[in-house]
Amino acid sequence: MPDRYAVIGHPIAHSKSPLIHGLFAQATGQDMTYDMIDGGAEPGGFDRALASFRTAGGRGLNVTLPFKLQALAAATQASDDARLAGAANALRFDGERIEAQNFDGIGLVRDIEHNLGLPLAGKRVLLLGAGGATRGALLPLARAGVARLVLANRTAAKATGLAREAAPHLGGCVVEGGGLADLTASDTFELVINATSSSLSGEAPAVPASAFASAALAYDMVYGKGLTPFLKAAQAARCARVADGVGMLVEQAAEAFAWWRGVRPDTRDVLARLTVPLV
């Protein structure tokens, strides 16, 4: 009988995870199924769906919005990445144990370094936003050897607080926080990452053009939207290269798959299938 996996969220019909994991399973010869679960909007929906899936023999879940915080709360064991992010995007079940991981930031780093060919060691990075996506990226970026990490948010106090909270966990990486309005022409970066949700509403964070001037890459975590306002702003500022988050999506899925199945799939074919031209 095939092992059971799924993705849970609300809404969930748009999810690419069944396609991605189905292709991974086919490529690696894994005997498994992968479904979608709508946890619903009502209180307790996630907990009921989680219990039902485990009772039916489910082996692991991907978790998407709005249940990532609840997934971490349900875990009996959590990785450093999940704890610092305050959220989990993958669960693994072993008897009574529920293990939680957050692979989003790991997928981001893998995409930037492996697929886009930009080594992160020693780089100066501007990370826009101070929410869950930013929290999930901090530890993987520090592990990759980033020298300086600046968090810029519309509300400066939120970025400053997150930088202060994260600093003890980031080793030799210098982390600073402040407001978008605090960025000046003297602040130059080699990588600018948009971890806000602005691109979903067709907007762009108020980033000065000078922030992009020395950048080798501007990266929008949103995917499938083509050339977002953030990426257009980067191009207008003559940033050397732009990319969206489709590679992050695929690479975090590959990390979860390897965690569950013990084999890491090659991601090239899946990336080629999901990539939307940035025009």
Active site residues: 68
Residue 6 CB-half CA count within 13 A:
19
Nearest to 111 by CA among 273, 244, 258: 244
For the residues of 148-211, what is the DSSP string, one character each?
Answer: EEEEEESSHHHHHHHHHHHGGGSTT-EEEEEEGGG--TT---SEEEE-SSGGGGT------GGG
Please report which helix (H) or strand (E) contains residue 62, including its range: strand 58-63
Strand order in 90-94's β-sheet?
A: 32-38, 3-9, 58-63, 90-94, 97-101, 77-78
For the residues of 243-255, what is the DSSP string, one character each?
Answer: E-THHHHHHHHHH
Separation of CA 134 from chain center? 8
Cis status of the peptide bond prior to 66, with omega within 30 of 0: yes
Nearest to 156 by CA among 187, 177, 176, 140: 177
Token readout for 170 is: 């980031």
Distance between CA atoms of residues 71 and 90, nearest Å: 8
Token readout for 24 is: 């991974």
